Amino acid sequence: MQLITSPASPFARKARMVIIETGQEDDVELVEVMSSPTAPNPQLTAANPMSKIPALIRSDGPTLYDSRVVTRYLDARSGGALYPESRIWDVLVLEATGDAIMDAGVLMVYENRCRPEDMQFGGWMDAQWGKIEGALDALNTRWMSHLSGPLDMGQISVACALGYLDFRHAEREWRKGRDALDDWFAVFSARDSFRATMPA
């Protein structure tokens, strides 16, 4: 299999972490591409008509895309430990929360990178950050017991989201007033899979 990926993409990082956590490094070749909404990579577009990373090219079936589809497939292929049925709805909501933080964070980057300066809208950027702050507050108050439990896909998604905030939006200081989430992230960040997939 081939995973079309990018070192800076938090969504691709999710898939790369799952590959490591489930011991599938020898089964998946990483294919790094450069792509953006205004300059999509032809190889990526051929695999995913939406031109979004990641995409998992399989020899025994159609290419899979959208990070949640890719991670669910990789986990099922290895035995299904990251989406446990006993708490599946909590895992899926937590994964969606992490993904939503990534979505808003990436859109903020695109606003600066893809729009001409005279067309950029600060109010829209602040609205995206407001969504991120709401999600962070929810994680810090109502999700800490789950985050502190056995490893699952929700935790991986949240960790990738927080890592992306550090990478692209460090000046926004997401940790302020969120000590519990900060403490959890400090511990999670020591995982080998997280350290091996640092964005660049």
Structurally, the chain folds into a number of domains equal to 2
The whole-angstrom distance between residue 3's C-alpha and the CA centroid of its chain comes to 15
Distance CA 194, CA 18 (A): 10
Does residue 65 sit in the same domain as residue 100?
no
Q: Which of 78, 108, 142 is the last residue of a domain?
A: 78
Shared-domain flag, residues 45 and 92: no
| Together in a domain, 73 and 106 | no
Range of the domain at 143: 85-191
Range with the poorest average pLDDT among 81-90, 114-123, 153-162: 114-123
Interval 44-61: pLDDT, tens:
899 889 889 999 999 999
Residue 109: Cβ-neighbour burial (10 angstroms; 0-12, 13-18, 19+): middle
136 domain-assigned: yes
Specify the pLDDT at position 164: 98
CA distance 73 to 96: 16
CATH number at residue 91: 1.20.1050.10
- Same-domain status, 89 and 182: yes
Min mean pLDDT across 43-52, 109-118, 146-155 is at: 109-118
Using alpha carbons, select from 172, 140, 177 the residue that is nearest to residue 158.
Answer: 140
- Bond before 10 cis per omega within 30 degrees: no
Do 73 and 33 fall within a single domain? yes
User: Which of 51, 78, 105 is the C-terminal boundary of a domain?
Assistant: 78
120 and 72 assigned to the same domain: no
For residue 72, what pLDDT is reported?
98
pLDDT of residue 38: 78
Residues 184 and 95 in one domain: yes
Q: Please report whether residue 119 resides in a domain.
A: yes
Residues 67 and 125 in one domain: no
Report residue 25's pLDDT band, with 50, 70 and 90 as the boundaries. Answer: very high
Q: What is the CATH number of the domain that holds 60?
A: 3.40.30.10
Asked if residue 118 has pLDDT above 80, the reply is no
Domain's final residue, options 60, 78, 96: 78
Whole-structure pTM value: 0.94
Q: Average the pLDDT over 21-50 and give the result.
A: 91
Residue 197 in domain: no
Same domain, 69 and 153: no
Integer Cα distance of 52 and 67 in angstroms: 9
Residue 198 within any structural domain of the chain: no
Band of residue 35 on the pLDDT scale cut at 50, 70, 90: confident
Verify that 49 and 118 share a domain, yes or no: no
Cross-strand partners of 31: 4
The reply to whether 158 and 112 lie within a common domain is yes
196 vs 43, which has greater pLDDT?
196
Tens digit of each residue's pLDDT (9 = 90 or more) over 121-137? 888 889 999 999 999 99
In this structure, the answer to whether residues 123 and 175 fall within a common structural domain is yes
Once rounded to an integer, what is the mean pLDDT over residues 5-17?
Answer: 96
